[in-house]
Amino acid sequence: MSERSGIPAKAYAYAAAGLVLLALPFYLERFWLQAGLFAMAAALGAIGINLLTGATGQLSMGHAFFLAVGAYGYCALAGDGTDGLTGLGLPGWLAAVLAVGLAGLAGGAFSPIAGRLHGAYLGIATLALIFIGQHVLFNAHGLTGGYNGRAVPPLSLFGLTFDDTELLVAQVPFGAVEKLWYLGLALLLAGALFARGVLRGRPGRAMNAIRDHRTAAGVLGVPVARHRAAVFVLSSLYAGLAGVLLALVFQRTVPEYFGMALSLEYLAMIVIGGLGSVAGAVAGGVFVALLPQLLGRYAEALPLVSAPGTGGVAPGEAARYLYGAAVVGTVLFLPGGLARLAARLTPTHRPSGETR
């Protein structure tokens, strides 16, 4: 019926999913909303690295560095300095925009290297960013707060402050997590649509040509080094935005979080979700981000999984084992990831009279 009316069934599914997501803050407790926000931030970062690695074929091990630039950049720009740490006291919305820009500038500073290296060579080069970033985060106490990190100032936008000050909506109290939920949804939707437009346009075709055969792409007139550098900057901007959202959800930045393990998690996200696919990046980000949250929530009911320090396997470790196994299984049995699986399960509409 939906096909005959000119509106595909997929549109109805998207509309229903959107309505459900908009209604969730009215019904879910704080834990689930916070877990969902972690998943949104992870999906944003996964879209960025999927543009670089999945669509262009450039391996990056330094994605966590650019998330840290976004998170700590926001703290330094929005902080007022009353905690003894560096803070410029800028409005929250301006600090967030500038923090994303800082991540892009950091990516731009590295882009000449990204434009000339490829494969494992670029991966090793970006690995240096993690070591540099960790050294700065742990030792620049006046800027980052050192090992203990620093508190994250609440975001203010259009007169609305995203803190725990209660805001009644339909007699439901909205705190920081509920307010951030809608901001996260808006950012994820905008980021996904923009990336989808890039991949479906001429830049996307050039990126795929570089991934498949860079020499042939160069012969066809594609400026390979320029496209690689530009995509690296774009990926850094996505990472910076994800870092800002993570900082707002965590409400405290901790240097240890932005290490090698985080970069590996983002690579796992795009492999599990599907290389080169925006929907796959979102699905992989949600899967990898939610898994440790769910294992921690239900640790008592799961065999071998227990709270950290109480014996057994900690939820975070169990999550790494599981999505590590998921990466191996995806590579061996489902090369296209969750995106390819969804495509196989979705029936293809054929006009009447068409044969296979």
Q: Could you state, in chain order, the average pLDDT of each consecutive group of 10 residues for the chain (356 residues)?
A: 58 84 88 94 96 90 95 94 87 95 95 84 91 94 91 87 76 82 95 94 89 84 88 95 95 92 92 90 92 81 68 75 84 81 65 40
Query: Residue 163 CB: number of other CB atoms within 10 A?
Result: 17
Q: Kindly tell me the number of DSSP H helices and DSSP E strands found in the chain.
A: 14, 6
Contacts of 347 (CB under 8 A, 6+ apart): none
pLDDT (0 to 100) of residue 186: 95
pLDDT (0 to 100) of residue 116: 84
pLDDT (0 to 100) of residue 212: 86
pLDDT tens column, 159-199:
788 887 777 776 777 878 889 999 999 999 999 999 999 99
pLDDT (0 to 100) of residue 14: 79
Residue in this structure with the two tokens 């803070």, named with its chain if needed:
87
pLDDT (0 to 100) of residue 353: 40
pLDDT (0 to 100) of residue 77: 95
Contacts of 252 (CB under 8 A, 6+ apart): 149, 150, 151, 152
pLDDT (0 to 100) of residue 354: 37
**Hey, is 223 helix, strand or coil?**
coil
d(C-alpha 262, C-alpha 249), whole Å = 17
Burial class (CB in 10 A: 0-12, 13-18, 19+), 122: buried
* Residue 37 · residue 184 · CB < 8 Å: yes
